[in-house]
Structures are given as structure tokens and as C-alpha cells.
Structure 1
């Protein structure tokens, strides 16, 4: 058994959120609106926990990699809340659980729900990730869609060394309610692990994968029917075959096995101190955090 220490802050902050084990990870049983409402509620001063709330997302690839790569498993289990960003996770939960996942909580959809609510309440965003041109295009498009949304800063994600350290300090000084980090798995999770102690003024951090690719207009979402039947991965392979084809060929079969063999309801409601709710373990010498320094 790996050396683990409990995450009492995260468990206390998310104790009201129902969970279920899907493919080996404990995921939030929330829909898009409920997830956005929870995020909005948690960034208000009365609910702050002294550090950012850390939210990430899991799909089939993540389930597969967590089962074979201990470092990635550790990074994901350190999150305070994990959403299901994959329709197959929802489908299998409906077959195997008495209280299944209500819907897929894709970050590309969640962003817009949170943006509308944040705009109405005067809450601020910082958008960190992608390359410089794509980051700027994403921010410009978001400002057109939500003209009253406070985007108090943004930066591309190709920073290292002192430049990255300075950018983290700048983000903390700006104190955004929400920091959206789009660096890809596992670099964005490693970013959170390394820099969360220096981001105490941030309300919540949401890892975002390829969110900025879609916000910038570089990539189009899959047709709705493909999203609903769990084939958005095939659409993404069609868009980027050289980068994604082998990845999905190797992770999809394992993900299906995990979904059918490691999906089970929680023993109790809310949070229990199980393997899926623990974090803050000693660092791994193969950790991708070193690539961010």
C-alpha cells in the first residue's frame, strides 16, 4: 500500500457532494448545473478553505492511466472533486449503479455554465494555458460571449523556471475567483500540486485539458449525437490522428475493463476517508512537476 496522508481540508469542503466509484476513481454524482453552483458557492469568502478548491476531470484515458501509472493516480486522487468528463462513464454508471451519474460534466460545457453565473455575480477568471496565440484568441472569444465577465488576467502555458514562478505570484496577487489551467494531463495536475501552496488568494482551480483549443475556435466540438453516444473521442482522433490514435487504441480497452469491473456505489453518502479521498503523498522522483520548473 502506498504511503498516504488524509486530505481533511478537501474532505470537509466537499462533504456534501455525493460520490460513486466509477472505473476505480471516486467521482462526483452531480450534473452540470449542480457542479457550477457548487463551484460558485465555494469561492465566496464565507466558504473559502484557506487554499484553492481543486477540481479536475476524468475520462476513459484518465481511468486507464491511473490504473497503470502511479504518479498520475496520485495526482488525480489529490483533487478535492473529480467530475466525469466522458460519456462512457455515464453510460456504465447507469447500468451498474442505483444512483448513476446524471450526465457528463465536460469542461468545455462547464466553463460556459460557470462563466454565466460568474458574470452575474461579478466573480473573476484567470485563464492559463495553451500557446500565446491560442490563449489570446480564447480570451477574446470569451470576452465577446460574456462582455461583463471579469477576466482579470491570462497567460500562455509555455513558461518555465523564474518566468513561471513570477507568473504564479502574479496570479496569486490578482486573486481570481477561478483559475482555469489548460496544460494537458498530467502537467496541469502537476502544476496544481506544486503551486497550490502559493495560490492561497485563488478561490478555485479547475484543470481544463484542451478547453482553450475549443474556446479559441481552433477545434470544433463533435456533433451532438457523437457526444451523446460516447464517441467524442473518435471525433478527436479524426481531428488529430497522429497525436491521439495510438493513445486511444491503448487506453480505451483498459478503460472499458475498469468501468465494468471497478464501478460501485458508495458505502455511505457524502465523503468517507477512503483511498479515493486521500492525497498529499511524498513526491515521486518521476513527477512531471520537474518539467515545469
Structure 2
């Protein structure tokens, strides 16, 4: 399902749909109702930086059907560059909204990614909050490259309307892009990064006030500094450089 191009802005070579959360949900619900596949991806500062030198990731992202700005820094950059995005559409918030929608509309979801204990806890929590009937299937995110086709077929044959993939970049984006034909029975496919860790209670999400001022990344960094320092501190610094470079043309 192709979203109208007049809703797309280009930020540092990345296509982003200029949609609110409500508008995004409407597009997804429409696609599921029409049984048309929507390949979705969110982008933040770090991913846009990685795309500058990773051709495969750039293709996997830019050829997706629906692209949202997950990071507040991307929204700020869009305003600085004179291409203002309406709002941030955080991947975890979109995922939570879609789980609620699945419960209301009797959709089924396949949960793919993270460690076995984490994804099992996600299913347990959502089953208690909603119903086990929303679950089409699940598996952890540890596999060999040669197993991808079999995994994609398993997901496609599960009866799922929605697929969440909780694997790090660029693996999840490339998996979804390279296996899009095998996943054609699933109406909506989405990479959700570390969202399973949050739902499972392994990682805490930043308070709302930190989310609103764009410091959610810093809260995440404080929880796992040894693992996150390069992604956030180095990645965010490069993002600022690229934005300034495009703004002033040097």
C-alpha cells in the first residue's frame, strides 16, 4: 500500500511521512481492512546517520511504505531545515496503540525478537491486559542468516495481521525488506527495536517530561552507558553536524 507522496518530506536523504499518530493509525487500519501490506519503519537521529554510509539500510528504509519520525531530534531538524514534521510518532507508542487496536478489531499479532524470556514476558503481559487471542505466534530474535526464509514463511502462515520485530538495526530493517514478498500474508509489518524490553519491564522508559523535551535517549543512556554511549553520543553529534551542513551548505 503506497502512502501519498505529498505527505512525504526528505530529511538528510531519508523519506519521512508527515503524519500524526492518529493519521498513522488510520493508514494502518485502512491497510489491514483492505488486506494490503504496509511495511513500516521508524527513524531517529542514529538511524539517519547510519543510512549516510550504509546503502542497504538506506534502501530498506526508503523503500518502506510508511516511515515515521521516532526521534524528537528528527522533528527539530525538520523545522531547522524548513521541512517541519507535524509530530514525533514514537515506535513504542505506535506499537502499544496497535496492540489495543488488535484487541478491539480481533486482529492477531506475531511477536518476533529479543531473548526468549523477554518475548515470553511480553506475551504474558499483553495476555493479562487484553487477551491471549491477539497472539498469532512468537519466536526469539536469535537466528542464523540461512534461517530467515523459514522464519518469514512461519510468520506468514501464522494467520497474523500484524508483525512486530524487536531486533536491532540494521538487521530488522533488512530482514523486513528482503523478505517482504514472503511476508505478504501479513498486512502490517513493523520494526520495534527495544520496545519488547520496555513492555517486559527489563528497561524503564523515560518520564513523560523527558520524552517531551527530547531527552528520552539520555534516560536510556543512563541505564546502559557502556552499551549505549557510542550510539547516542557519537551518533547524535554526527546528526547535528549533518543538519548544520545541510542548513548552511558547507
* TM-score, with length taken from structure 2: 0.90
1:164 positional shift? 4.4
The CA deviation string for residues 70-93 of structure 1, in whole angstroms up to 9 with x for no partner, is 232222122112110001112233
Name 2:69's counterpart in structure 1. Answer: 84
Task: Indicate how the Cα distance of structure 1 residues 187 and 54 shifts in structure 2: closer, same or farther if over 3 A, else same.
Answer: same
The answer for the alignment partner of 1:241 in structure 2 is 225
CA distance in 1, matches of 2:147, 2:17: 35
1:95-114 CA-to-partner distances (Å, cap 9, x unmatched) read 4436x222211111111111
Match of 1:43 in 2: 32
Tell whether the 8 Å contact from 1:63 to 1:258 is kept in structure 2 after alignment: no
In structure 2, what is the equivalent of residue 61 of structure 1? 46
Name the CA shift for 1:69/1:162 in 2 (closer, same or farther; >3 Å): closer
Q: Which secondary structure does the structure 2 equivalent of 1:152 belong to?
A: strand
> Which residue is 1:94 aligned to?
79
Q: Aligned residue for 1:266?
A: none
1:279 paired residue number:
none
Higher relative contact order (CA 8 A, sep 6+): 1
Alpha-carbon RMSD across the aligned residues, in angstroms, is 2.0
Partner Cα separation in structure 1 for residue 32 and residue 72 of structure 2: 28
Secondary structure of the corresponding residue to residue 52 of structure 2: helix
Q: Deviations over 1:119-154 (max 9, x none)?
A: 211111111000100010111112222227611111
Deviations 1:44-93 (A, max 9, x none): 2x352xxx321101000011111122232222122112110001112233
CA distance in 2, matches of 1:70, 1:200: 24
Instruction: Please list every run of 5 or more consecutive structure 1 residues that lacks an aligned counterpart in the other structure.
Output: 1-9, 264-293
Alpha-carbon distance in 2 for matches of 1:231, 1:32: 20
8 Å contact from structure 1 (residues 40, 118) kept in 2:
no
Say whether the 8 Å CA contact 1:237–1:245 is kept in structure 2. yes
Structure 2 Cα separation of the partners of residues 27 and 149 of structure 1: 33
Give the 3-state SS of the residue equivalent to 2:42 in structure 1: strand
Q: 1:102 to 1:146 in 2, by over 3 A?
A: farther
Q: For 1:87 and 1:150, how far apart are their aligned partners in 2?
A: 31
Q: Decide whether the 8 Å contact of 2:40 with 2:189 is kept in 1.
A: yes
Asked if residue 18 in structure 1 is aligned to residue 2 in structure 2, the reply is no
Contact 2:121 2:200 in 1 (8 A): yes
